Amino acid sequence: MKNIRIFAALIGAAAVAPHVGFAAYPAGAYYAPPQPMQYQPPVYQQYQQPVYQQYQQPVYQQYQPQYQQPQQVRREGYIPAAQIGQYPQAAAPGRVTGQLPKVGNAYVNAGRKYYQPEGFDRLADSGLYIGLSLGYTYSISGGMLAQYQNEKHSWFVPGAFKEAHFQYGTVMPIQISVGAAINNDVRVDFAYLRYSGMSYPSIVQTASDDRGSLISADVSNGRVSGTATMLNVYYNLDSYTGVLASGSLRPYVGVGLGISTNTISDYVVYDGSFYGEEGIYDGQTYPAGLLTGISEVYAYHSGGTTEQMAYAFEGGLTTEMQGGLKVDFYVRWAHLGQVESSGSIVVSQTEWLSTGLYPIGINGSEVQGDYDSVYHYTDWKESGTLNMVDLGVRLRIQF
């Protein structure tokens, strides 16, 4: 009976502490494998499956649509490539001018006044250039004037005793320039400018007596030319005038200052009139051999070269051809200063002498002398001013 109670106590202890194993006990109904399976399914169903269903799937459904939504928005304006050509093309962008805001600090101004990059500014000036211009002189003002008209016996010297305008036909000034663009608005160049094709007028008014009476005299030769070496500064005006012709034309102004060399060649003034000597009167008889008159007067004027201060003002439009070749269409007013003779005049004249046979005015009363008389005058100058208005075209090759 005592043994039965001890056996029952051991069985109860084994039931309370199943982790304590006894190797001597065989597998029986009191410690069967199905007992742990009673707890495993609830753990899987309670935690594993609900976690997957509660978090994994709702997270995918809650955030995935937000990820797909921007893709749908971006594709709303999509146009197939095959249909792009059916739509009108956008207009080419125009050049925008104006003052850029200050950059760097309060004292630094932007050097370029174009908002668009230089690639859009097809007329942008940069670097060195060589220019060649050909013009047409629309008008020349001024003329030659004798500076000896108040000298004693000046009426013996044929010349222009009042202003005689220059004679010219087609005058085509040529200019060669080498310069550089300082920035997109300012460029500077050195230029050589030449004018030719002008001359002393072919007919001048010359004095017939000491009282200032004037008659016409013929002039031969007297070619006039002028050259100038000038420093020119040009400024583009489209920052103020705005875009012209969709940006294909750029207005500009320029000013030049330099030294001119003006030349007049030798020329001859011929006066074919007959002049009676002072104090000799018609109807009276004078002793033989007395000088009674002169005719066939030739005045040989020596030319001269002078250096003067020259200046010019120019305005025009710039455009561009293919290959970076720029074209300037301009109007220019140029002042080259004076052109002046050397002041040396040699006068040759035919003398007429009284025969003493008849009163003056009757045939046979005068006879031509055997030799012509020659007189030399010095420092009796004639001068004029060269002012031109030119229309021209300049080609500039930009480097």
Using one digit for the tens of pLDDT, what is the confidence trace for 286-329? Answer: 999 999 999 999 999 999 999 999 999 999 999 888 777 899 99
Q: Which residue has the higher pLDDT, 45 or 343?
A: 343
Beta bridge partners of 367: 353
CATH of 118-266+302-344+380-398, one of 3.90.1150.10, 2.170.130.10, 3.30.70.2190, 2.40.160.20: 2.40.160.20
Q: Which residue has the higher pLDDT, 184 or 114?
A: 184
Report the pLDDT value the prediction gives residue 311, as an integer from 0 to 100. 97
Q: How many helices (H) and strands (E) does the chain have?
A: 7, 18
Report the pLDDT value the prediction gives residue 324, as an integer from 0 to 100. 73
H helix or E strand, kind and range, residue 61: helix 57-74
Lowest mean pLDDT segment, chosen from 197-206, 241-250, 328-337: 241-250
What percentage of residues in the chain have a pLDDT greater than 70?
A: 68
Is residue 114's pLDDT more than 60? Answer: no
In sequence order, which residues have a C-beta less than 8 Å from that of residue 194 and are 6 or more positions away? Answer: 173, 174, 175, 225, 226, 227, 228
In sequence order, which residues have a C-beta less than 8 Å from that of residue 245 and are 6 or more positions away? Answer: none
H helix or E strand, kind and range, residue 2: helix 2-16
Highest-confidence range of 54-68, 137-151, 159-173, 370-384, by mean pLDDT?
Answer: 370-384
Q: Which residues of 246-278 are buried (b: 16+ CB within 10 A; e: fewer)?
A: ebebbbbebebebebbbbbbbbbbebeeebbee
Report the pLDDT value the prediction gives residue 269, as an integer from 0 to 100. 94
* Per-residue pLDDT band at 83 (split at 50, 70, 90): confident
Question: What average pLDDT does range 211-235 have in this prediction?
Answer: 92
Question: What average pLDDT does range 251-256 have in this prediction?
Answer: 96
Is residue 93's pLDDT more than 90? Answer: no
Report the pLDDT value the prediction gives residue 207, as an integer from 0 to 100. 84
The helix/strand/coil state of 172 is coil
- Give the separation between CA 207 and CA 158, rounded to whole angstroms: 7
What percentage of residues in the chain have a pLDDT greater than 90?
A: 47
The structure's pTM equals 0.64
Is residue 259's pLDDT more than 50? Answer: yes
Per-residue model confidence as pLDDT tens digits over 124-162: 566 889 999 999 999 998 889 998 888 887 888 888 888
What is the residue whose two structure tokens read 């100038």?
Answer: 228
Is residue 87's pLDDT more than 60? Answer: yes
* Per-residue pLDDT band at 42 (split at 50, 70, 90): low
Question: What average pLDDT does range 274-296 have in this prediction?
Answer: 92
Is residue 105's pLDDT more than 90? Answer: no
Question: What average pLDDT does range 53-61 have in this prediction?
Answer: 51
Beta bridge partners of 384: 144, 339
Q: What value does the mean pLDDT of the chain take?
A: 79
Report the pLDDT value the prediction gives residue 262, as an integer from 0 to 100. 96
Report the pLDDT value the prediction gives residue 247, as an integer from 0 to 100. 64
Is residue 111's pLDDT more than 70? Answer: no
* Per-residue pLDDT band at 30 (split at 50, 70, 90): very low
Closest by CA position to 255, among listed 339, 320, 335: 335
Is residue 62's pLDDT more than 60? Answer: no
Is residue 353's pLDDT more than 50? Answer: yes
Question: What average pLDDT does range 373-389 have in this prediction?
Answer: 93
- Give the separation between CA 233 and CA 237, rounded to whole angstroms: 13
Report the pLDDT value the prediction gives residue 183, as an integer from 0 to 100. 84
Question: What average pLDDT does range 208-225 have in this prediction?
Answer: 87
